Amino acid sequence: MPRRHMTGFHEDPGLQRRPGPFDLKCYLIHNLDTHTAGQGNRFNRREMVTSETMQEHNSAGIKAHNKVNKSQQTLFAFGVETMTSENWIEFEGRKYNLKEGEKALDAMLRQGAPISFSCRQGTCRSCMLQALSGDPGAAAVSTLPPDYRDRGFFLPCMATDVDSVVAQRPDLSQCVQEATVADKTYTAPDIVILRLEPATEIQWQPGQVISLMNANDDVRSYSLVSGKDDYFMELHIRIYPEGAVSSWVDSLSVGDAVRFQGPTGEFIYDDSMADRPLLLIGTGTGGGVLTGLVKQALICIFPSIWRISPQTA
């Protein structure tokens, strides 16, 4: 093919845009027919073929473009759905997405979040976090006192409808109370009854929990056995040699100061239950909590099915 056809291509004044590969092919066919054939019919036929080919190319290009656009639209739509989903919690630099109806704690644990937990029912507060922004939802704060809510505390184990929450571990410095170890008795080598004297006057009921904090701020929740008319808060604790908090409890002595959060929880005997039968089942240290509930029931004049004198209980 003569070189002049290719060099003359970029100099063609009829071209209004920078040519592409397909334009080059059509222009070369046009020049080749003009310079070698010299016959109008043949030129017209070539020009017609070139025109038809150009239309086919344009049609194919439009279809391909549309196909790409549809793919891009599908990916774009998927991306928008993913990016605009607001049901997530960001914690310690990582974002955890929640599935529909999934609790935030379950979602975070499923994705490897380093978060503590225990009861998973909104009672012990072991998993409690503090929201810096976003909305953890009403369910996540339903069991917390107003001062906790004001500080942004929430419970991931109760949260299912979070809205773009950025969270951190809670600052509990203003929510911690103090008590003194008044008595410590072992009923078995690994079972201790711990009685605490609160530094300030507080109200509690048997079945509620307080969360003890060791020197490293590790937190574990224990159920209260004593009632609201008792002076000391009584806990029955099983000692685990590798336990972060129970092994610390094992090292406590009478007169030591301890820190705790609470009391909290709704596992209590309510006065409105006085005319109904009560069935309690428990094992291990959980049995101690049940004795506190029975005592509370007797104080409230338990129903006529069981009439046991408080002196013989």
C-alpha–C-alpha distance, residues 24 and 27, integer Å: 5
Calculate mean pLDDT across residues 262-279: 81
**Three-class secondary structure assignment of 5-25:** HHHCHHHCCCCCCCCCHHHHH
**Rounded mean pLDDT of 137-164?**
91
Report pLDDT for 92. Answer: 94
Q: Which residue has the higher pLDDT, 137 or 7?
A: 137
Q: Which residue has the higher pLDDT, 224 or 1?
A: 224
Please state which CATH number belongs to domain 176-313.
2.40.30.10
Under the banding of pLDDT at 50, 70 and 90, the label for residue 240 is: very high
Average the pLDDT over 282-302 and give the result.
Answer: 80
Any idea which of 80-84, 138-142, 231-235, 261-265 has the lowest mean pLDDT? 80-84
pLDDT at site 252: 97
* Exposure string over 148-181, b if 16+ CB within 10 A, otherwise e: beebbbbbbbbbbbbeebebeebebeebeeebeb
| Banded pLDDT at 303 (limits 50, 70, 90) | very low
The answer on pLDDT for 80 being more than 80 is no
- Across the beta sheet with 163-168, the strand order is 94-97, 88-91, 163-168, 129-135, 153-154
Residues 108-135 pLDDT 10s: 999 999 998 878 888 777 899 999 999 9
Superfamily of domain 88-168: Beta-grasp domain (3.10.20.30)
pLDDT higher than threshold 90 for residue 190: yes
Element counts in the chain: helices (H) and strands (E): 7, 11
Reported as type and span, the H/E element at residue 194 is strand 191-198
**Is residue 39 helix, strand or coil?**
coil
Mean pLDDT, all residues of the chain:
75
Q: What pLDDT is recorded for position 85? A: 66
pTM above 0.85, yes or no: no
